[in-house]
A and B are shown apart, each in its own frame.
Chain A
Amino acid sequence: MSDIAATDPLPKPKRDLAPILLPVALAVLMIPLIGSTSSWLTLTVASLAMGMMIFIMASGLTLVFGLMDVLNFGHGAFIAVGAYVATLVLAPFAASIQADSLWMNLAVLAPAALLSMAVSGALGLVVERVLILPVYGQHLKQILMTTGGLIVAEQTLYALWGPQIIPMPLPTSLRGSFILGDVAIAKYRVLAMLIGLAIFIAIQLVLNRSKVGLLIRAGVENREMVEALGYRIRRLFLGVFMTGSALAGLGGVMWALYREQVHASMSDDLTVLIFIVVIIGGLGSIGGCFIGAILVAMVANYGGFLVPKLALVSNILLMVAILMWRPRGLYAVTSR
């Protein structure tokens, strides 16, 4: 007999704080190396903003894998599609984008972002039904099918929009920086950070406070048990897949605004970055994905400032270091 009485609260799950402290420690460590506080602040804000955007794009991928063991190599396509769709709205309303009024700008940006999310989400529905459903449970074929899907999506974008780079200027009111003393913080980065944080909190709330979230977490941990309890995990999975695709589309719009240009090949570079984030974070873990995204962005920004030549391989080095420490990523949530 154990000595736990029925009235005692359940034992709290152990909190694993080491990964959370990692980006903090990294940032603190960089203060003396970078030297000037103002450049350090600027770089830190830049990494946080970039990390949030990467997190938005990667969050769907990690859940899709965690829940259904599906490897989607075509996730980058949703990013590019989202960015291209946004140009459909932003180009005709260029006048209100150039207007120097935050509300006028947002009145165009918000519908553009929503339309991008809707189209990417709908595309996610098609991809899940056509490409992933037939090869469900077979990793090799999933990789091949989704890679094929990525090729087709990229080429279709080229066929529809042409191969040239499309400029995507930032709205006037989001240009420039807030000046605090001698620190300049770009306005758009603050916005990106706010959106990213809001989405992170929303995902955490849904996962931890709602029944759907409970089912998703249970499914990540043990899919068969959830099925045995009578829940239609396939439908749940479709929902997660579409949400993930829509978020990738939103991330695409934000990234395009950040770079101020749209090109179909953006999906290639970002796919690699997202994979690294998902691997570092631990497949299936939203928290790990969040920390991983910030770490990748920090290494890119600090590394690019301190040793520009190293920036090329810094992500790989980060991945190697993390996996040496924890071979299954920062947080290993799946039992696979």
Chain B
Amino acid sequence: MGSEAPLPKWASTPCIMGIDEAGRGPVLGPMVYGCLYCARSYQKTLATLNFADSKTLKEEKREELFENLKADESIGWSVDVIDPRELSAKMLKKSVIQIVISFSFSFVYFSFLLQDFTRLIINRNKVNLNEISHDSAIGLINRVLNMGVLLTEILLEYSDQSKGITRFLILSAAQEVRIPYFLSISAAVIAIWRNLEITLKVYLDTVGDADKYRIKLSERFPSIKFVVAKKADSLYPVVSGASIVAKVTRDRALREWVLEETSENMHRSFGSGYPGDPETKAWLAHHKHSIFGFPTLVRFSWGTCTSYYKDMVEVLWYLLKHSNSICFLTLPHNYAWPFLHNVYEVLRLKKPDRRSI
């Protein structure tokens, strides 16, 4: 979706573009990335259009501004709506576990003395929310470039993502830990505990680091100057405009959402979708289903959902990809099983949730 008129003349002069997102935090509904672009020379006029951070505007005002900018021939815009099903699916992708035992069976009982180690590799090819966001922004830039717009500068909002996303980062990233295998049960627990430690460090290094994001984008689009800044949506009118585009699109998408499920007594009072909203909470509580969890509008990968899982029927997923070399067989049977079981435990989101900051 976006402005569809034939390419205006100003598009071949140097242009500036703002990108912002809406609906990153909510537990339900789509996440929307919006962009707004115009000629550099139009910036001054843009500043007079009263665009402000969409969060500070009332809904009617946002709608009004959106209609105005749609009508404005000197402004172009585009959106990327990311379906909640896609968000859940990417964040809950299948994990691969690989256990490499460097020892033969006969050494199992000596391992305590020898201090040998088993390597447990939990490879999660899950995609975290940051990656999804970055891909969406890159997709928007590509789309606008392909339309023939001469982009020279792009401003992006870099929201403070520290709190809500911690647990997803814990679940993401490839992990590799060494654990002593004589402690079948506790070793798995330790491994998992260490796992979390390791990823927590990764998290501290990367999240909140707007500069890395900027470098990533600059490498991909060398001819464009990127500005990644917090509060960009209130500092730069072009980003404010993008935030309005994104927010209005998200609100409309949620308002007009057609529930896939055909169960009776479902209603559409979603509230804002934020986990703290009482209306959203009530909606979640009313729509939970012991087998299916929730309607597919809900982002199952969100921590908020976990608290509802205890009332639901337990579902266990197979983690092991058959293509991987798993050497369970070299462990005595009674050692291997609890080991596997513990790994299951963790990947059902229980541990990470308890550990989230």
- Asked if A and B bind, the verdict is no
B residues adjacent to A (C-beta < 8 A) = none
A residues adjacent to B (C-beta < 8 A) = none
